[in-house]
Homo-oligomer: A and B are copies of this chain.
Amino acid sequence: MKPQPLFQALADPSRRRILKLLQPGALSAGELSDHFAFSLASLSHHLSILKSADLICAERRGQHIIYSLNTSVTEELYRLIADLLKVTSGEPA
């Protein structure tokens, strides 16, 4: 997992809101779009950023593409944050 795309992806409030919306279950781009004022094209752009950061998965189901949280990345994200903010106090790594 690369830190930069991950932190970058989380830096936008709309993208964090997308993650929240996906918590109860997978949704299509169209369903997600109902919750935002911007265009479907902009949403699609946000989704591609979240996908590149491995925060979500995409799966085509007929005409729709449904998006779901990639929860496996959560653990790794915890570790990243811990590594970033822990105090080493001179102990060896």
Partner-B contacts on A (CB < 8 A): 3-4, 7-8, 10-11, 13, 16, 19-20, 23-25, 55, 69, 71, 73-74, 77-78, 81-82, 84-90
8 A-B pairs with least C-beta separation = A11-B11, A74-B85, A23-B88, A7-B11, A7-B10, A24-B88, A8-B11, A19-B84
- Please state the number of chain copies in the assembly: 2
Chain B residues within an 8 Å CB radius of A77: 81, 85
Interface of A is mostly: helix
Chain B residues within an 8 Å CB radius of A69: 85, 87
Kindly report which residue of chain B lies nearest to residue A16, judged by CB atoms. B84
Given A8-B11, A77-B81, list of 16 further CB < 8 A pairs? A3-B13, A3-B16, A7-B7, A7-B10, A7-B11, A7-B16, A10-B11, A19-B84, A24-B88, A69-B87, A71-B85, A74-B81, A74-B82, A74-B86, A78-B78, A78-B81
